[in-house]
Amino acid sequence: MKSGSRNSCTHRVGFGMDVHRLVEGRALVLGGITIPSPVGLEGHSDADVLLHAISDALLGAAGLGDIGQHFPDTDPRFKGVASLSLLNRVGALLEQEGYRVVNIDSTVLLEKPKVAPYTNAMRSAIARTLGIQPDQISIKATTSEGLGEIGRGEGAAAYAVALVSSR
């Protein structure tokens, strides 16, 4: 590619982070998987913090802004939408711009329930959605050891780093 073109770098990295409050009466959806829980994440969409962080990391790596720009919480079209659907659209944007996902590394911060038993299903769902292999995705789960809002069970957070390359 020519020097100075939008995709002049072969590899690009992006970082994403998201946090949502836990509330009663909502399903707990993480990585596109519904996890049995008495509480779920509050938000305009399904509030999947993991997929939101991954989407932001991918968009950031491609220099395409963030999910709030593409899927604003003021738009009724995105009310209650599954975040896997949003991630699918992010993947299509990357492809349109000439990028492919190399790998994703992520961490979910949630006191309970335990997330680790569901990470393989999450990796599979994300991989199917992005058209990549599950081994290109890492999902780690941790707690905040009872510290802060997350430690008190008031919310959940997720962090993600993504590497993309130009096609």
Render pLDDT for 124-162 as a digit per residue (tens, 0 to 9). Answer: 999 999 999 999 999 999 999 999 999 999 999 999 999
- pLDDT value, residue 15: 98
Domain that includes residue 127, residue range: 11-166
Cis amide leading into 76 (omega within 30): no
Give the CATH number of the domain where residue 43 resides.
3.30.1330.50
- Determine, yes or no, domain membership for 40: yes
Assign 111 a pLDDT band (cuts: 50, 70, 90). very high
**How many domains, the chain?**
1
How many whole angstroms separate alpha carbon 117 and alpha carbon 6? 40
- Determine, yes or no, domain membership for 1: no
- Determine, yes or no, domain membership for 4: no
Q: Where does 74-141 have alpha helices with state H?
A: 83-96, 119-130
Instruction: Say if CB 57 and CB 16 are below 8 A apart.
Output: yes
> Residue 143: which of 112, 99, 100 has the closest Cα?
112
pLDDT tens track for 26-82: 999 999 999 999 999 999 999 999 999 999 999 999 999 999 999 888 888 888 889
Residue 3 has pLDDT above 60, yes or no: no
End-to-end CA, the chain: 10
Classified as helix, coil or strand, 76 is helix
pTM of the shown model: 0.93
- Determine, yes or no, domain membership for 3: no
- Determine, yes or no, domain membership for 108: yes
Reading the block at residue 161, the tokens are 């780093």
Q: CB burial class (10 A; 0-12, 13-18, 19+) of residue 145?
A: exposed
